[in-house]
Chain A
Amino acid sequence: MIQLIRENLKGKAIWGAVLAPLCMIVEVFMDLQQPTLMSNIIDIGVSSGDLNYVLNTGLRMLIYAVIGIGGGAGSAIAANFAGFRMAERLRSKLFAHVFTLSAAEVDKLETSSLITRLTNDVTQMQEMLVQLLRFMTRGPFMFIGGIIMAFLLSPKLALILVAALPVILVFVLLIINKAIPLYTTVQQRMDGVNTSMRETLLGIRVVKSFTLEERQSERFEAVNTAYAETNIKAQKTTFLMTPINTLVMNLCVVAVLWFGGNMQINGSLRMGLIIAFVNYMVQITGSIMMLVNASMGIARARVSAERIISVFKTSPSVTETATPKAPATADIEFDDVTFSYYGRRDAALKGTTSANSDSEAVLKNITLKIGQGKKVGIIGATGCGKSTLAALMARLYDPDRGTVRIGGVDVREISSEALRKKVGIVFQESLLFSGSIAENLRFGAEYAEESELSAASEAAQAGEFLRSLSDGYNAEVAQRGRNFSGGQKQRLSIARSLLHNPEVLILDDSTSAVDAITDAKLREAISKRRGGQTLVIIAQRIGSIIDCDEIIVMDSGKITDTGSHKELLEKSELYRAIAVSQLGEEVLTR
C-alpha cells in the first residue's frame, strides 16, 4: 500500500506530503503551549495581581493560537493537495492500464468491480493519505507531547496518566477486536436483505403470477430481523468505547484533584497547574481516539489498495508486436485453434498440461477458412462458441493453441490499428455513448459526411426513427444510450460499424431485438452495399443465415459441418434438427 502511494506521489504532491506533517507539528506544538500559558496566568499573574502579566500572556496565547491555526490550515491544504494529486495520478494510471488489458482480463476482473476500483477504491486511498498525513501525525505528537508536558508540569501527577493510559488502551484494543468480526457479520446480513429485495424486484412477475407475496414477506422478515439484531449487537460493542473512555478520563480528573489538592495543601503544587493538567489529559485521550479512527481508516484503505494493486499486477494477455506485418487480403483462416476463457492461464499456474483444460475449452481444434468477400453464417446453440469464434477473429483474445491468420498473417503479428480496419464486430449487447447521434456514428469514421451517415443509417433501417427525432443526427444520446430502445440501439450500432467499414464485418446476433421483417430488410440492404466486404452473420434464427454462401454449424465448441443451407439439410443431422425445430417438417420436403 505504501509503495502504491509512493509511486504515485510525484512532482508538487511530494511537497504537499512533506509540508503537511510539518505544519501539523507546528499546530500541535502551539496547542500544547496553551494550557501551560493558562496556568501561568492563574498562578503567576492572578495570584500576584500582576495585570500586565495577565495581558501579556493573554496576547502570547492569542499569537500562539494564530500560528497554530496557520499550521492547521496549512497542513490541511498541503495534505489535501498531496491526496488529490496522488489520487489523480493513480486514477489516470489505473484507467490507462485497464484499457491496455485484453477482454480476457476484463472478463476475469469483472466490469462492475473495475468501476468500483477506479472510483471508490481510489477515493479511499486519497482519503487515507490525507488522514495519514494529518491525523497520524497529530495523534502521536499530541499523545507524546501531552505526556511530556504533563511530566514537565508535575512528574508526580503524571504518574496518574501512566496508570490510566494502559487501561484505556487495553479497553480500546479489546473492543476493536470484538467489533471487527461483528461488523463483518453485519455486512453479510445486509447482503441478505439486499439479495432478498433484488430478487423480488427481478422476479416480480413470477412472484405475482404464483401469488407468492406472503411467502416472500416471511422470508424478508427473517433476513430483516437478523440484520437488525446483529447490527444492534455490533453497535452496542463499539458504543462501549465512549463511556469507558469518558469514565477513565473523569476518574483521572478526580485523582488529579485529590492528589493535586493534597499537594497544593502541602504547598508543593500550584493551583493553575491542576487546571492545565486536566486540559492535557483531555488532549491526550482525544489523540488516542484520533489514532483509533485513523487506523480504522487505514485498515479500510488497505483493502482498497490491494484491489487496485491486483489490477496493476494483471498484465494483458494480448500484446502488440514490435514488428507488425501488413496482410494483403482479408481471408480468414483458423488453424487447429483451441481456446478456453481461463484455461491457459490457470493451467500455467497449476503447471499442468493444457490437455486437462480441454474439457473446459470453448473452442476445440477449430480449422476453418473464410475467403474474402464471402457471406458466411454461423449457427448453433447458446454457449456453443459462436461469439468466441468471432472474438478470436478480431483478436479480442489469443488462442491457447493454434493460429488465427488474416491474409495469411498471424493476427498476433498485425498491429491493432491495422487489425481494426480489417475486422469489425457488432455485438449483441449494443452500446452507445453519451454525445450526439452523429458523434456516435462517426466513431470509426471521424470525417464521414452527412450523406454517408444517412446512407449507413438507412441501410441499418435506422433512418425512419432518426427522422422522427426532432434533432435528427444531433439528438442527444444519454449515458450508454439509455434513451433508446434495444432495437434502436442495435440498429444504430450496425450503422456505426457500416461507417467504420471494416473489410470483414461480423454481426454477432446483433439484431436480436429487431423484428423479423425489419431484420430481413436490414440484411438485404447490407448485402447490397457490402461490395467486396466479407460478411459474417452469427444468429440464433435460421432464417437470418439461410441465404449465406456458406453456413458453419457449431456444437459444443466444435464445427460439426459447413455448407450451404441445401447441402447442410442433407448432410448435417444437427442442422436438420435445428431447421425442423424452427421451421417445421416442411423444410425437408420443400
Chain B
Amino acid sequence: MNEKGSVNAVPNFGGPGRGGGPGRIYMQPKPKIRDARGTLKRIVGYLMKSRVVMCFAALCAVLSTVITIAGTRLNGYIVDTFIADKNVRMLAAVCLCMAGMYIISVIAVYVQNVIMIRVAQDTSKTLRRDLYNRILRLPLKYFDTNSSGDIMSRLVNDVDNINTAMAQTVVQLITNIVSVTGMLIAMLLLSPVLTLVTLVTTPSVFFMTKFMAKKAQPFFVSQQRELGKLNGHVEEMVSGQKVLRMFGREKRVTEEFDAINRRYASNAIKAQCVSSVIGPISNMINNIGYLIVAVLGGICVIRGFGGITVGVVFSFLLYMKNFTNPINQILQLANTLQLAIASAERVFEAIDEKPETDADGAAETVNLGGDIQLNNIDFYYVEGKPVLHNATITASPGQTIAIVGPTGAGKTTIISLLTGFYDPGGGEILLDGVSSAKISRKALRRSISLVLQDTFLFSDTIRENIRYGRIDASNLDVEQAARRAHAHEFIMQLPKGYDTILADNGQNLSQGQRQLLNISRAVISQAAVLILDEATSSVDTRTEVVIQEALLELMRGKTSFVIAHRLSTIKNADKIVVIDGGRVIEQGTHSELLSADGFYAKMYASQFGNAGIAID
C-alpha cells in the first residue's frame, strides 16, 4: 500500500504536488529518448567525481538494508524462541540488540541521504554551470533559432528532473536491489514453499498493473491533450483581451472556453476513474498474495509441515511486504529514470552545441585605426535565401556611414557581420586591410562599440553597468564617461547616485535615461569603431536633444556605422548606403543621391517629402 503514505514516504515540502490517484506513474506518456546508454554514461561521468562518497553511501544503504532484514528475522525469532521458551533474559538481550541495530540503521540511512543530497545538488550545479558557460559562448545563430523559454526550461526543469532522479534513483536502486536479494535469500531459508507462492504473486501484480495501464493510456493521452488545449486557450485569450474587447467578442470567447473546460473536466474524470480503479486492484492482488501466504502458512503450522512455526510465518509476512514494495519501487524508478534521461539529452544537446570559434592563429589583440571595408559580402541565414548579396561598403577612419533602407532589407545583418556575430557566406571584411577571419572575435569586439536600439541594462549598480563597457576602468573613468555621455546629471539626482541598483533591465529609469547609460557604456569602451542602431521611437524632446549631443560626442573621431532613421543623421553622414532586398543599390551623399533621383529620392519623398520640403 505504498501510495497511501507508508512509513518510508519521503516528505515532499515545496516539491511538486503529490495529488492524483494511485497508478499515475504508469500513465505518463513515454518521453523520447535517442541514446539512453550514451546519455547514462555521461551522467555517470558527472558522478565519477563523487565516487568515493557515493561508495560510502552505498555501503550505508547495504548496512541499513541488512539490518532491516536481520531485524525482521529477529522479530520472528523472538516470537518463536524466547517468548515460546519463556526466556526473559535472552528476550531482554535480543531486544536491546535490536534497539541498537535500529539506531545504527537509522544513522546509516540519514548519512546516506545526506551524501546523496549533496552529490545530486553538486552535480546539478555543475550541469547548470556547464550549460550556462556554454550558452554564453554559443554563436548568435543559436539564440535566433531557439526560444529563450526553451533554453530556460532546460536550465530549470530538465536539470531538476536529473537532480530528482539522482537523489532518489541511485540510492533507492541500491537499497532495493539489496532488499530484494536479501529478502529473497531470507525467505528461501525460511520456507521454500512459501517463497514459491510469493514469487508467483509478485510478478502477476506487476503484469496486471502494466496491462491495465496500457488499456488506460488513451484516457490519459486525451486528458493531457484537452489540458493542453485549455491552457492554450486561456493564454491566448487572456493576453488578447484588449483586442477581443475591441471586437466585442467577450461573450463568444467565454462560451468557447466553457465548452473546452467542460470537455477537459469530463475527460479528466474518466481518466481518474480508470486510475482510481487500477490502484486498488493492484493493491488487492498484493493483499491476496499476502493472504494466501498467511493461510497457507497457518495450515503448514497446524499440519507441522516443513518445520514452519508461527514465528516463521510472522517473519515471512514482514519479508513479503519488504519484498514486493522494493519491486514496485524499482518499476517506478524506471519511469523516473526515463524522464531524467530524456531531460539529460536535452541538457547535453545544448552543452554539445558548437561554441563560437576563431580561426587558427587569429590575432588576440588588435589596435584598429578604423579603416573598414566590406568586400562583395554574401550572406544567408537559410541556404538559398540570401539576405545580403555582393554588398560592398567602405569606410575611412573617422567617417560616418549611414545605412538606410526598408525593414528587412538587411541592415541589421550588416551589424551582425561587423561584430562577428555571424560570418559572411562569401566575400570578406577587411579591418585596416586585415581580414576579419584573422582577428579573434574577442579582439574584434573589444575594438568595436555597439549601441543598440533596445537598451539593455544588467541588474547591478549604475557604476558597474557603465563599467561593463571596459572591465578594468576605474571609478573616475566611469564618471568621466558618464559626463561625456551627459548621463552624470541625472545619475547624481538619484538618491544613491552611481550606486543605485537597477532592477529588471532598468525599469526604474526612463527610456531616455537608459539610453544615456548605454551611451556611457559605449564611451568608456574607447573603441575605434562605433556601430549604432538608431532608435525609431522618440523619447521626450528635451532628453532627445541631450541624447543627440551624447551621440555626436560618442561618434567624434570614430568610424561609425549608423542604421539611421533620423533625417539629420542621414544628411550629416559622410556617406549614405541604401540597401534594398539585400543589395547595396545606391551610395553617396544626400545631395548626390537626391540628384540621382533613384530609390533614396523616392523613399525620402514618401517619408519626408510631403512635409513640403523642397527636394533638390
Asked whether A203 lies within 8 Å of B151 as measured between CB atoms, the reply is: no
List the A residue with the shortest CB-CB distance to B97: A254
Asked whether B110 lies within 8 Å of A243 as measured between CB atoms, the reply is: yes
Asked whether A381 lies within 8 Å of B539 as measured between CB atoms, the reply is: yes
Specify which of B275, B281, B299, B456 is in contact with A206 (CB 8 Å cutoff).
B456
Asked whether A205 lies within 8 Å of B571 as measured between CB atoms, the reply is: no
Instruction: Fill in one digit per residue for A221-246: 1 if any B CB lies within 8 Å of its CB, else 0.
Output: 10011011001101110111111111
Interface assignment of A350: CB less than 8 Å from any CB of chain B? no
Specify which of B7, B235, B264, B273 is in contact with A246 (CB 8 Å cutoff).
B7
Asked whether A586 lies within 8 Å of B614 as measured between CB atoms, the reply is: yes
Beyond A242-B109, A578-B538, whether A583 also contacts B257 by CB under 8 A is: no
Interface assignment of B433: CB less than 8 Å from any CB of chain A? no
B122 partner residues in chain A, CB cutoff 8 A = 228
A195 partner residues in chain B, CB cutoff 8 A = 459
Q: Select the stretch in A53-61, A156-164, A406-414 that faces chain B.
A: A53-61
In the complex the two chains form, what is the Cα distance from A138 to B458 in whole Å? 52
Asked whether A232 lies within 8 Å of B406 as measured between CB atoms, the reply is: no
A224 partner residues in chain B, CB cutoff 8 A = 125, 128-129, 132
Specify which of A47, A65, A272 is in contact with B291 (CB 8 Å cutoff).
A65
Near A by CB (< 8 A), chain B positions 63-120 give 71, 75, 78-79, 82-83, 86, 88, 91-92, 95, 98-99, 102-103, 105-107, 109-110, 113-114, 117-118
Beyond A80-B21, A583-B611, whether A209 also contacts B419 by CB under 8 A is: yes
B610 partner residues in chain A, CB cutoff 8 A = 543, 546-547
Interface assignment of B430: CB less than 8 Å from any CB of chain A? no
Beyond A42-B313, A179-B13, A381-B541, whether A76 also contacts B299 by CB under 8 A is: no
B246 partner residues in chain A, CB cutoff 8 A = 394, 420, 424-425, 444, 497, 500
Asked whether B611 lies within 8 Å of A543 as measured between CB atoms, the reply is: yes
A540 partner residues in chain B, CB cutoff 8 A = 536-538
Asked whether A186 lies within 8 Å of B14 as measured between CB atoms, the reply is: yes
Asked whether A210 lies within 8 Å of B273 as measured between CB atoms, the reply is: no
Give min CB distance, A60 to chain B, whole Å.
10
Interface assignment of A455: CB less than 8 Å from any CB of chain B? no
Give min CB distance, A283 to chain B, whole Å.
9
**Most chain B CB atoms below 10 A, which of A47, A244, A515:** A515
Asked whether B75 lies within 8 Å of A300 as measured between CB atoms, the reply is: no
Instruction: Fill in one digit per residue for A175-196: 1 if any B CB lies within 8 Å of its CB, else 0.
Output: 0100110010011001001111
Asked whether A581 lies within 8 Å of B541 as measured between CB atoms, the reply is: yes
Q: Select the stretch in A111-119, A144-152, A359-367 that faces chain B.
A: A111-119
B382 partner residues in chain A, CB cutoff 8 A = none
List the A residue with the shortest CB-CB distance to B167: A235
Interface assignment of A81: CB less than 8 Å from any CB of chain B? yes
A179 partner residues in chain B, CB cutoff 8 A = 13
Q: Select the stretch in B211-219, B395-403, B481-489, B601-609 that faces chain A.
A: B601-609
Give min CB distance, B164 to chain A, whole Å.
11
Asked whether A115 lies within 8 Å of B272 as measured between CB atoms, the reply is: no
In the complex the two chains form, what is the Cα distance from A417 to B241 in whole Å? 16
Asked whether B458 lies within 8 Å of A199 as measured between CB atoms, the reply is: yes
Interface assignment of A375: CB less than 8 Å from any CB of chain B? no
Give min CB distance, A138 to chain B, whole Å.
7
Near B by CB (< 8 A), chain A positions 41-59 give 41-42, 45-47, 49-51, 54-55, 58
List the A residue with the shortest CB-CB distance to B148: A201
Asked whether B419 lies within 8 Å of A220 as measured between CB atoms, the reply is: no
**Most chain B CB atoms below 10 A, which of A115, A176, A238, A250:** A250
Asked whether A232 lies within 8 Å of B6 as measured between CB atoms, the reply is: no
Near A by CB (< 8 A), chain B positions 226-258 give 230-232, 234-250, 253-254, 257-258
10 residue pairs, one from A and one from B, having the closest CB atoms: A76-B276, A127-B19, A515-B406, A290-B5, A80-B272, A88-B265, A381-B540, A183-B14, A250-B102, A58-B295
What are 24 residue pairs bridging A and B, where the CB atoms are less than 8 Å apart in the complex? A41-B298, A72-B279, A73-B277, A80-B273, A118-B238, A193-B155, A193-B156, A204-B140, A205-B452, A210-B468, A235-B117, A242-B11, A245-B7, A250-B102, A257-B78, A257-B98, A275-B79, A282-B7, A396-B245, A425-B246, A431-B240, A513-B407, A520-B606, A543-B607
